[in-house]
Amino acid sequence: THFGFKDVPVAEKVTKVREVFDSVAPSYDIMNDLMSMGVHRLWKRFTVEIANVKPGHVVLDLAGGTGDLSALFAKRVGKTGKVVLADINEAMLRVGRDRMIDKGHISNITYNLANAECLPYASNQFDRVCIGFGLRNVTDKEAALRSMFDVLKPGGRLLILEFSKPTNPLLDKIYDAYSFKLLPKIGELVAKDGDSYQYLAESIRMHPDQSTLKGMMEEAGFERCQVNNLTGGIVAVHTGYKL
Ligand code: SAM
């Protein structure tokens, strides 16, 4: 069965994305470890490392889901700073909040139900905005980039951690076979949900590549944009400043 995601109209995409994350929320963390063989932890650590967050900073972890990035940021902003974990999906946000409380992050993380396309914050609020494995699920990416630009303080920085295009053609082939053949099977076996993982593979394939995304950031107003390829470009961290 094919998820048929490529052919669905915009309004249905929103519903499908919601259904996917409602469905994967309980098994999300274990699936991340399984599918990436644990490497997603390194990708996230790298992102937080280069974010250069200082004590006292206010950080928005957008599409924060179960909160891996929030937990890393919370350690760095300290007691005087704040992390806002924002996600459009209630089920993911609930798992995230429970996990953060279990990890002891109580005082410096807050939780918001928010759509990246029209963020519910005043302009110039955040020192950093980070969106990890979230942008490819957003329907109107241009609107989301503009909204992230708006809520950043002048001098603030955006970090986009997302699947991208492997730079080596052979790796690209192997990776394609992995995502379309093996990944939905693992999803079926472990999460009993092959369709959602088929969607994830399709959304990765359709996501703009390194230079396209960089161009979109520049279009939204970001300056000094840079691309860091990780694991041969399977993943990339894009960064840019609001100056
Ligand atoms: N950042 C977390 C991580 O790296 O583990 C979660 C990533 S998860 C693959 C993608 C998240 O994006 C989901 O929790 C989903 O609900 C959220 N999401 C999808 N569309 C969104 C939107 N328009 N605005 C905010 N969050 C969105």
pLDDT tens digits for range 175-209 = 999 988 888 898 888 888 888 888 888 898 889 99
Helix (H) or strand (E) holding 237: strand 235-241
Per-residue pLDDT tens digits for 55-93:
999 999 999 999 999 999 999 999 999 999 999 999 999
- Structural domain that includes position 90: 5-241
Q: How many CB atoms lie within 10 A of CB 10?
A: 8
**In the predicted structure, residue 220 carries a pLDDT above the cut 50:** yes
Question: CA-CA distance, 12 to 7, in Å (whole number)?
Answer: 10
Q: Give the binding-site residues of ligand 1, using a 6 Å CB cut-off.
A: 17, 21, 63-66, 68-69, 87-89, 92, 115-117, 132-134, 137-138
- Distance (angstroms) between ligand 1 centre and the Cα of 20 equals 11
Domain total of the chain: 1
**In the predicted structure, residue 119 carries a pLDDT above the cut 80:** yes
ipTM: 0.99
Question: CA-CA distance, 240 to 57, in Å (whole number)?
Answer: 17
Bridge-based pairing state of the strands 235-241 and 223-230:
antiparallel
Q: Domain holding 116: CATH number?
A: 3.40.50.150
Provide the whole-model pTM: 0.94
- Distance (angstroms) between ligand 1 centre and the Cα of 172 equals 24
